[in-house]
Amino acid sequence: MVAPPARGSWLILLSFMLALMLTEIPMPEVFEWGRPQWAALVLIYWVAALPHRVGPWYGWVVGLLLDILQGSLLGIHAISLALIAAIIQALHQRFRMYPLWQQALLVLVMVGLYQQLLNWGQSLQGARSDSLLFLLPSLVSAFIWPWVFVLLRSIRRALSVS
Amino acid sequence: MTLIVVLSLGLMLTDLFWSPMAYYRGYLSLAVTPLRWLMDLPPRVLTSIDQSLSERDELQVENDNLRADLLLMARKLQRLDSMDNENGRLRKLLGVSKQLDQRVLLAELIGVSADPFSHQIVINKGFGDQVYLGQPVLDEGGVMGQVVEVGPYTSRVLLITDAQHAIPVQVNRSGFRSLLLGRGSDQELLLDHVPDTADIKVGDRLLSSGLGARFPKGYPVAEVVEVIHDPGQPFATVRCQPTAQLDTSRYLLLIFAQSATPVLAPETPQASPKVSTLNPPEEES
């Protein structure tokens, strides 16, 4: 009944660090509108794969770092990512059974929810968006989800992190 | 999950309504400083490789160009020196305290806000270099913005194009004063409440007016690109373009403006505490 020691925490942390860096790396203005939400994608993967290790608190801490990094309203990324993590944690068994395209659809909804929460946070600070273009990253995120999923899964299996 | 929600909402409320939070956010930025440094590493390495591999004659040409620029600047400076003296003498005649030359600090851009809705940049100077909240930031073209968050090694600058930013300006030609508002768009600023009869034309240069005691007087901010007089609107629409290279400058200047006392300081001592409240620590919006 003794749980095996958790291994590969460094891999989880490294992937989150890379996601944070990818989120913040400067890009031309055109691409900024469609930048995938790397942190949300990586979080969804880890919660679905290891729900007993990665949960809302992981999302909260990563979100807080994102808030500090982007200078947004403190706590808005944190609460949004924690919410995504909680939902995926509740759905993880169904999520694992879905084919990739169906997973991508759920990712679309999750990241869309995330963008909407962020937009509300921004409008609290006075920077309201006047078009629905702010939802573009959720489409892009859903589109690249299969690649992110396969990549992270193969790395996780190769290093047998569970 | 309840704890998370309570914690997040608490953080959001403190951030929104408790103005000293702007100081503490500076300390929080320490947590991501290593990450920033890592992100800035590839361009830094590439630049240094590029420099060490560039051809000798290329460097020679660049050197010549810089020399020519320096000569031009030196000539301008000579004229400026004499004008500065003259200005000082005239000010003395008027009995006005002399405006001191401002101290500047060169800073380097290390990060750009990834969020298309917020126009902010991160620079590599913090309170270790005496950077302070509300400090004006310039590049060679004009005013870029002001410091809104100071950490130990980095600070965050709000650009004049951000939707939260406003800067008091004056038309160089006619002296007309107004507020220049950011619109959240890269190349567009809007002059606030311009009457249809105001003396303003396309091509006018807008300088910082020094009102509000945050930006020093007389630095170029923007140029008028379009004036629309619509009879159906109470005010004219005046579109402007920032003169600073907001999206390409890598080196910027931090200006240490002298204390917030106005140039025409009132002599009565009871008026001075009022002056100091003109400059609260919260950001100008």
DSSP codes, B218-277 = T-EEEEEEEEE--TTSSSEEEEEEESS-TTT--EEEEEEPPPS--SS--S-GGGHHHHHT
| pLDDT in the model for residue A112 | 93
Partners of B247 on chain A (C-beta within 8 Å) are: 29
Return d(Cα A118, Cα B143) in angstroms, integer: 30
Return d(Cα B174, Cα A72) in angstroms, integer: 39
- The full length of chain B comes to 285
The alpha carbon of residue B218 and the mean position of all alpha carbons in its chain are separated, in whole angstroms, by: 13
pLDDT digits (tens, 9 = 90+) for B73-90: 888 888 888 888 888 778
What does the buried/exposed string (b/e) look like for B100-123 if buried means 16 or more CB atoms within 10 Å of the residue's CB?
eeeeebebebbbbbbbbbbbbbbb
Which residues are B206's β-sheet partners? B171, B222
Among residues B190, B182, B195, which one has the least CA distance to residue B229? B195
Residue A81 structure tokens = 């990512």
What would the 3-class secondary structure string for A26-74 be? CCCHHHHCCCCCHHHHHHHHHHHHCCCCCCHHHHHHHHHHHHHHHCCCC
pLDDT digits (tens, 9 = 90+) for B188-231: 899 988 988 888 989 999 999 888 888 888 888 999 999 998 88
What is chain B's mean pLDDT, rounded? 81
The alpha carbon of residue B35 and the mean position of all alpha carbons in its chain are separated, in whole angstroms, by: 26
Return d(Cα B130, Cα B149) in angstroms, integer: 13
Determine contact, residues B114/B39, Cβ cutoff 8 Å.
Answer: no
Does B277 have pLDDT greater than 50? Answer: no
* pLDDT in 10s for each residue of chain A, 162 residues: 455 556 778 899 999 999 998 888 777 777 777 888 999 999 999 999 999 888 899 999 999 999 888 888 888 999 999 999 999 999 999 999 999 999 999 999 999 999 998 888 888 876 666 677 788 889 999 999 999 999 999 999 988 887
Lowest-pLDDT choice from A59-63, B42-46, B101-105, B121-125: B101-105
- Torsion of Cα atoms, B261 then B264 then B268 then B273, to 10°: -20
The one-character DSSP state at B99 is P
Return d(Cα B72, Cα B58) in angstroms, integer: 21
Q: Which of B7, B16, B28 is nearest residue A73 as measured by Cβ atoms?
A: B16
Q: What is the CA radius of gyration of chain B?
A: 22
Does B54 have pLDDT greater than 50? Answer: yes
The model's pTM: 0.75
Q: Which of B15, B29, B184 is nearest residue A75 as measured by Cβ atoms?
A: B15
Reported confidence tier of residue B271, pLDDT bands at 50, 70, 90 = very low
Percent of chain B with pLDDT over 90: 16
**CB of B1 within 8 Å of any CB in chain A?**
yes
**CB of B29 within 8 Å of any CB in chain A?**
yes
| pLDDT in the model for residue A160 | 82
Determine contact, residues A64/A75, Cβ cutoff 8 Å.
Answer: yes
Return d(Cα A73, Cα A58) in angstroms, integer: 19
User: Pairing relation of β-strands B155-159 and B143-150?
Assistant: antiparallel
Residues in contact with B153: Cβ distance below 8 Å, sequence separation at least 6, in sequence order:
B30, B33, B124, B125, B126, B128
Does B61 have pLDDT greater than 60? Answer: yes
Q: Per the CB < 8 Å rule, is A125 touching B164?
A: yes
Q: Which of A17, A35, A76 is nearest residue B114 as measured by Cβ atoms?
A: A35
Partners of B116 on chain A (C-beta within 8 Å) are: 29, 32-33
C-alpha distances in angstroms, B169 versus A103, B157, B241? 53, 19, 13
| pLDDT in the model for residue B259 | 53
Return d(Cα B6, Cα A78) in angstroms, integer: 12
Does B253 have pLDDT greater than 80? Answer: yes
| pLDDT in the model for residue A128 | 66
Does B284 have pLDDT greater than 60? Answer: no
Residue B237 structure tokens = 């629409």
Lowest-pLDDT choice from A5-9, A118-122, B13-17, B239-243: A5-9
CA atoms within 13 A on the CB side of A133: 13
pLDDT digits (tens, 9 = 90+) for A16-45: 999 998 888 777 777 777 888 999 999 999
| pLDDT in the model for residue B265 | 40
Chain B closest CA to A46's CA: distance in Å?
18
Residue B133 structure tokens = 């909240």
Chain B closest CA to A65's CA: distance in Å?
7
Which amino acid belongs to residue B277?
T
